[in-house]
Structure 1
Amino acid sequence: MKTMQWHRAALAVLLVGLLGTTAAQQSPPVELRMQATAPPGTPWARYVTEWAKNLETLTQGSVVLKAGPYGSEQDTIQQMARGRLDMGTWSLNGAALLVPELSLLQLPFYFSGLDELHCVLDKNLDQTVTELLASKGVRLTGWNAAGVVHIIGKKAYVQPADLAGLKSGTFGTRAYATFWSAMGTSPKPVPTTEVGSAFQTGLIDVAANVPMVYVAAGIGKVAPVMTRVSITPAPLLSLMSQQSWERLTPAQREALERARPALDRDVVRGFEETLLERHKQGGGQVVDLTPAQRATWRAAAAPLWPDMVKELGPEGERLFQQMEAGRAACQKPN
């Protein structure tokens, strides 16, 4: 009798286990909605595709990324912070809508380029930026690069005086508008998607953008000259809602982080050069400045920095001091 009862109990346990396994197998996968707007065929689009593929492999399909454009940068950054969108990649302009102090990472002509910016982030700023975003319910998962912002128009602009009296198109943080005003232009807010038409209609004479957008969006056809002044590097932030992160199991979190690929900055540079070469072959022009010419631009922009920092209050002052310390550390020989 006891033996039969034992067999019945064992059978019940086995059935519960089998049913539990079947239910788990039939449960729908966890979907993470990811904001991604990179044009197909670019390193940034391949980065998203590879991340999604790696995650599906690591989790055997139990967690999937649903990447796509879910709206404008301004709208989606807020949705992500509230947990209505899970994750994505945003420019500093977008991130600064949550943490205004981050706009200081785009002070005009402050950094020499992407290498210096990432060195400062690694040495002195990564933890601070992580904490500032965490205070808004957002998790920083990594940094990428969109390239470097240069001046675009129908002629070359090799010195600040060349801008006097022009109509400039500006977007993003107030730092850009302040810079254009100080250079003697009349700044006009123009969304990135409307820059090409703004040149065509004569609304603007000059603007600034990264090579990827400049060439891929066809802006180079109506503003055929890019002057590589290196106004500011354009980092991208991979962010995730803390609410979405907490909904994942520890194993799913580990898989998500392991699945994220690296995006080599040399790949970004190489892609930029490919795009600009295509631009030149199509009749466009790319003008490179000498170090002395760029120093003239930096000297004109540097007096603007203190007021830009002051506008952002104590947290802005703190972040800028860390930027200064980071630059000093990065300039020291190893």
Structure 2
Amino acid sequence: MAGTALAQGKPVEFRYTTGAPPNTPWVMQLDRFVKDVDEQSKGTIKINPFINAQLGNEQDTMQQTARGRIDMGGFSVAAAAALVPELSLTSLPFYFDSTEQQDCVYDQLIPYTAKALAQKGVVFLGWTHVGSGNIVGKKPFKAPTDVKGLKARSAPTKTAAAFWVALGANPTPLGITEWASAHQTGLVDVSDAPVTYYVPSGLGKIAPVYTRTNHVDAGGIVVMSKAVYDKLTPEQRSALQAAVAKRSAAQLRAEIRGFEQKILDLHVKNGGQIVPLTPAERAQWQKALQPAWPEIVKAVGGNADAFFKLMEDAKKKCGA
């Protein structure tokens, strides 16, 4: 199909899906990627962005990308875990000692990640970033006991569900398109969410209290349907890879992290509340959740034990 399009002098077009809301750094990065692909391919490849979950929530669209119904997209690693469940272990609460260590570990995991995703029908193009996860609700949650017995919105992964179970809460798995309505209707009392999604999505207006546990700094991923990628000409593949390589994962991560404080300031300006934790209060959360790591690994099942060992080995190599 791509060859036919080029023979007719028309660019080959790809649909790119993302749950990112408008006016966020993810959309800025996507718009820039569209231009980079156009430039590197000399106009022979056109990326058509579909933002704000226009094509569906990211768990569904990840599956559709694997089946070749959607060409490519940017996803949270939690969505990638719909295909490779053990990838969700990169979001173990309080696992990494620093952002530098985390980024190093993610990069060490590329060979495994690329191979595992290829076996499920998608080509790994590169890491992006989602941001730091914190506790969201209509009141502060300063201690882990504050969420005990509550209805919690969980990302649709076993790791995310086990996070809430370890705290004594009752998780309900929901995609990002359902977070706001779940809080509005009372389906859930509490969530965890990255600040960079929390405010632009409108969730901050419905669940206006943001407690800074910083228990995870979640990664993101860009993938392409393997069925689509395999039909590209060598020149098209080279152009696509050159466009990806133009912006390093380090740059993309820094852009997202740099956006977080601006979003927090905007949330307060809009009447929201940011609840900081003292080191002692955050240590309570850490103490409650770190012992749950083995149970979380066990809950994920499949190849989780081997993947966790890879993470542990990478963590030692990367230092603190």
TM over 0.5, shorter chain: yes
Equivalent residues of 1:114, 1:147 under 8 A apart: no
Q: Given the alignment of the two structures, is residue 325 of structure 1 paired with residue 309 of structure 2, yes or no?
A: no
Return 5+ residue gaps in structure 1 as ranges.
Answer: 1-22
Q: Deviations over 1:202-227 (max 9, x none)?
A: 33221111112211122222222111
1-structure distance, mates of 2:186, 2:71: 40
Return 5+ residue gaps in structure 2 as ranges.
Answer: none
Which of these residues, 228, 253, 259, is aligned with residue 244 of structure 1?
Answer: 228
Structure 1 partner of 2:268: 280
| Worse overlay, 48-57 or 200-209 | 200-209
Which of these residues, 6, 12, 33, is aligned with residue 30 of structure 1?
Answer: 12
Deviation at 1:108, TM superposition (A): 2.2
Q: Deviations over 1:113-137 (max 9, x none)?
A: 6433211122x32211112112223
Which of these residues, 57, 63, 86, is aligned with residue 71 of structure 2?
Answer: 86
Q: Supply the AA of the counterpart residue of 1:87.
A: M
Deviation at 1:288, TM superposition (A): 2.2
2-structure distance, mates of 1:239, 1:47: 15
SS in 1 for 2:117: helix
Structure 1 partner of 2:88: 103
Structure 1 pair 269–154 and aligned structure 2 pair: CA distance change class (3 A): same
SS in 1 for 2:210: strand
RMSD over aligned CA atoms reads: 2.1
Which of these residues, 112, 120, 142, is aligned with residue 158 of structure 1?
Answer: 142
Equivalent residues of 1:36, 1:48 under 8 A apart: no
TM-score (ref. length: structure 1): 0.85
Q: Supply the AA of the counterpart residue of 2:123.
A: R
| Worse overlay, 183-192 or 247-256 | 183-192
1-structure distance, mates of 2:7, 2:16: 24
2-structure distance, mates of 1:191, 1:135: 24
TM-score (ref. length: structure 2): 0.89
Equivalent pairs, count: 309
2-structure distance, mates of 1:194, 1:310: 28
Structure 2 partner of 1:10: none
Which of these residues, 247, 254, 266, is aligned with residue 254 of structure 2?
Answer: 266
Structure 2 partner of 1:5: none
Q: Deviations over 1:35-78 (max 9, x none)?
A: 13322322111111111112222323211112214332222212
Structure 1 pair 238–266 and aligned structure 2 pair: CA distance change class (3 A): same
2-structure distance, mates of 1:205, 1:72: 21
Structure 2 partner of 1:13: none
Q: Given the alignment of the two structures, is residue 315 of structure 1 paired with residue 288 of structure 2, yes or no?
A: no
Structure 1 pair 185–138 and aligned structure 2 pair: CA distance change class (3 A): same
1-structure distance, mates of 2:19, 2:300: 29
| Worse overlay, 210-219 or 179-188 | 179-188
In terms of Rg, which structure is larger? 1
SS in 2 for 1:247: coil
Which of these residues, 119, 124, 127, is aligned with residue 143 of structure 1?
Answer: 127
Deviation at 1:24, TM superposition (A): 6.1
Structure with bigger helix share is: 1
**1:104-253 matched pairs, under 5 angstroms:** 104-112=89-97, 114-122=99-107, 124-253=108-237
SS in 2 for 1:197: helix
Q: Deviations over 1:150-194 (max 9, x none)?
A: 101122222212222322222321222222122122323344333
Q: Supply the AA of the counterpart residue of 2:236.
A: Q
Q: Given the alignment of the two structures, is residue 66 of structure 1 paired with residue 51 of structure 2, yes or no?
A: no
